[in-house]
Amino acid sequence: MSKVLVTGGAGFIGSHVVDGYLREGWEVIVVDNLSTGKKEQINPRAKFYNLSITDRKMEEIFKKEKVDLVNHHAAQINVRASVEDPLFDAEQNILGSLNLLQNCVKFGVKNFIFISSGGAIYGEPSELPVKEISPKFPLSPYGISKFVVELYLYFYKKVFGLNYVCLRYANIYGPRQDPFGEAGVVAIFSRKMLEGKVPTIFGDGKQTRDYVFVADVVEANLLATSRLEELNQRDVFSVDDLAYNIGAGKEVSVNSLYQKLAHLTGFKKAPSFSQPREGEVKRICLDFSKTEKELGWRPKISLEEGLKKTVEWMNKKSSL
């Protein structure tokens, strides 16, 4: 494999993944419609197409570029937006993904990495940390759409021989995260605190999330890429066989996260509280033992270290 198409490569996580592939010597093609991504985040060494993954013109890119691998980060990622407009969420996340998969079949692309959601597909788990084989009871159209694509990937492997891996992300944070979006609590809290504004916590703040620094996520993508074909040589019996949790395995409450960021930023005020958001789970953290065993991955950067790096980046950015 030598040429990779990264969808969503102008986004927070996707742009870091693009940088990772380039460091490894890959030729990188980026497709992003810049709805949430930023052109300035795209590595100048990557070739860029400003296009939605739902567009029929995707076929022209596949035909022209002859990629060896698709790394699919592009998505509608806002849980609340998915609750408010399930049709748009399905169009972007399900039909957009199918557009890519159909083009993979048509143009002989044999390798696919899909970014799924470990935070949304499991719903409210009965046991924590959650394993890949845990029941799937998503509480939002976003979680549903992510799992539906996993099911489609299983079909495309069985019927068309597509090699794939699903990476089920926990809450990813770090430099380049959008502080003005609806998702990305670390970036949103950091920016507000640095500006002296009081952040809002939705709900009582006791809800928990599992946080992973973006550099660790890049490493997970590169390890998945290097082992993709090897993993697909095995007999695959279920949709969970080629799914991997990318999490730290630790519950962190929103209140605790607030306190850590307040300490780092020197912010002294208490948060304001608002109504909880529909579709969001109360508690989640992911068991990454299977990922460590089969991909050789585990998170290396602690939450404290990662938050410090993120606040430093945000501070530097706001002072420019």
Assigned domain for 291 exists: no
Residue 89 shares a structural domain with residue 130: yes
Distance CA 5, CA 220 (A): 17
Active site includes 152?
no
Q: Establish if 296 belongs to a structural domain.
A: no
| 230 and 131, same domain (yes or no) | yes
Q: Are residues 133 and 270 in the same domain?
A: no
Same domain, 121 and 184: no
Among 209, 301, 302, smallest CA distance to 257 is for 209
Please count the structural domains in the chain: 2
Q: Are residues 123 and 103 in the same domain?
A: yes
Q: Write the pLDDT tens digit of every residue in 270-315.
A: 999 999 988 888 999 999 999 999 999 999 999 999 999 999 999 8
> If you average pLDDT over residues 225-234, what whole number do you get?
96
**pLDDT tens-digit profile of 113-164?**
999 999 999 999 999 999 999 999 999 999 999 999 999 999 999 999 999 9
Q: Of 21, 49, 122, 142, which residue is the catalytic one? A: 142
| Beta strand spans in the chain (E) | 3-7, 27-32, 47-50, 69-72, 111-117, 163-169, 171-173, 200-202, 208-209, 211-213, 243-246, 252-253, 272-274
Average pLDDT, the chain: 96
Give the pLDDT confidence score for residue 1 in this predicted structure: 62
pTM of the full structure: 0.96
Confidence band of 320 (pLDDT split at 50, 70, 90):
low
Per-residue model confidence as pLDDT tens digits over 238-278: 999 999 999 999 999 999 999 999 999 999 999 999 999 88
62 and 130 within one domain: yes
Q: Are residues 48 and 127 in the same domain?
A: yes
Q: Answer whether residue 141 is part of any domain.
A: yes
CATH number at residue 272: 3.90.25.10
List the domain range (segments joined by +) for residue 275: 176-209+248-286+301-319
pLDDT at 49 over 80: yes
Average pLDDT rounded to a whole number, residues 203-220:
97
Higher pLDDT, 103 or 80: 103
pLDDT score of 299: 98
Query: DSSP states of 90-121 as a string?
Result: HIIIIIHHHHHHHHHHHHT--EEEEEEETTTS
Q: At what angle do helices 254-265 and 303-319 cross, to 10 degrees?
A: 50
Question: Which residues neighbour 104 within 8 Å (Cβ) at sequence distance 6 or greater?
Answer: 62, 70, 110, 112, 156, 162
Same domain flag for 82 and 185: no
Same domain, 115 and 263: no
Cα 65 vs. chain centroid, distance in angstroms? 25
Same domain membership, residue 7 and residue 147: yes
What is the CATH number for 230? 3.40.50.720
Tell whether 307 is covered by a domain: yes
- In a shared domain, residues 85 and 14: yes
Strands 208-209 and 171-173: unpaired
Does one domain contain both 9 and 35?
yes
